[in-house]
């Protein structure tokens, strides 16, 4: 079985490090978020997304899933098998960052070990077209027990030091900003965690942060750093499933949105 490179681990991924941006000087990659496999028809939705991604006319370097791949059910063998099978059909490397519905308060050491065996460590990096991609599981900031054993602060600080002068794109599941729904602003990250994390984001060579979690299309700013929040692949609240096609060029990141409505 082909291993999926998530949070970027394994020998298979090492063979694709340093993908060139090509003659155009543009680096293309895809973001999928919040697939929530195991409920509704989300396996079918992801399968359709995979087909669409494989047909894109852009030289896609990789695909990143920014969390909530599963719906509190990754301990079920059939969910793990479906995730592996579907993502394994993508023709480029796939990186998966764990979300709050992948590793949560009820997760045991065994279930976390199953995740990391399948998708690699909870923090890792990869290089594409001269850009350092940094993938970090941040939900452990708010947890005790096994899920909180990973230190996102320490990992990110080390990854930014190691990046040197390379531009960094940071991928995580939840953004730290207040969450707006029901016409009410809901609290974001705890103030201490938010301040410590944003100090790291501002201090390093981070050019953009890419997240999910909110199931809405949002853009925020942390100083001069844009924070892109991707809509979900899940059908919740009768919304169309979405994935994004990003282009990094001349130090700037732009994107197009693909709505899963028969490609129209």
Looking at residue 48, its pLDDT comes to: 97
CATH number of the domain at 11-259, out of 3.60.21.10, 3.40.50.1370, 3.40.50.620, 3.40.640.10?
A: 3.60.21.10
Q: What is the DSSP letter of 106?
A: T
- H or E stretch covering 246: strand 242-249
Which residues 6+ apart lie within 8 Å of 3 measured at CB? 10, 12
Structure confidence at residue 122 (pLDDT):
96
At residue 107, the pLDDT reads 85
If you count them, how many residues does the chain have? 264
Per-residue tokens: 19: 């993908």
Q: Extract the residue ranges of the chain whose pLDDT is less than 50.
A: 1-3, 6-23, 263-264
Residue spans per domain, the chain: 11-259
What is the pairing mode between strands 206-211 and 225-229? parallel
- The answer to whether the predicted template modeling score (pTM) of the entire model surpasses 0.85 is yes
Residue 212 makes CB contacts below 8 A (sequence gap 6+) with: 31, 33, 34, 66, 67, 68, 99, 173, 174, 229, 230, 232
3-state secondary structure of 96: strand
Q: How far is CA 257 from the centre of its chain?
A: 16
Strands 206-211 and 168-171: parallel
Q: How far apart are the first and last CA of the chain?
A: 34
Cβ distance 245 to 58 under 8 Å? Answer: yes
What pLDDT does 8 receive? 37
């Amino acid at each position: 079985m082909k291993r999926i490179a998530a949070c970027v681990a394994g020998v298979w991924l090492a063979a694709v490090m340093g993908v060139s941006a090509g003659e155009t000087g543009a680096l293309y990659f895809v973001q999928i978020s919040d697939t929530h496999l195991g409920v509704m028809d989300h396996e079918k939705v992801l399968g359709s997304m995979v087909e669409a991604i494989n047909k894109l006319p852009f030289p896609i370097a990789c695909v990143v899933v920014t969390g909530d791949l599963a719906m509190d059910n990754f301990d079920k063998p059939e969910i793990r098998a479906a995730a592996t099978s579907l993502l394994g059909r993508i023709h480029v490397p796939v990186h998966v960052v764990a979300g709050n519905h992948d590793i949560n308060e009820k997760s045991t050491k065994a279930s976390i070990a199953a995740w990391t065996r399948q998708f690699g460590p909870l923090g890792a990096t990869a290089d594409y077209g001269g850009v350092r991609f940094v993938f970090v599981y941040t939900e452990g900031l708010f947890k005790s027990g096994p899920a909180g054993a990973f230190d996102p602060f320490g990992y990110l600080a080390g990854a930014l030091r190691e990046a040197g002068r390379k531009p960094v794109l940071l991928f995580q599941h939840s953004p730290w900003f207040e969450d707006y729904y029901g016409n009410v602003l809901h609290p974001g990250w705890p103030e201490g965690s938010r301040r410590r994390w944003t100090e790291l984001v501002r201090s390093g060579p981070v050019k953009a942060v890419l997240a999910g979690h909110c199931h809405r299309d949002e853009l925020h700013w942390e100083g001069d750093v844009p924070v892109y929040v991707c809509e979900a692949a899940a059908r919740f609240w009768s919304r169309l499933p979405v994935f994004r096609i990003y282009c990094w060029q001349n130090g700037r990141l732009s994107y197009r949105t693909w709505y899963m409505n028969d490609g129209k």
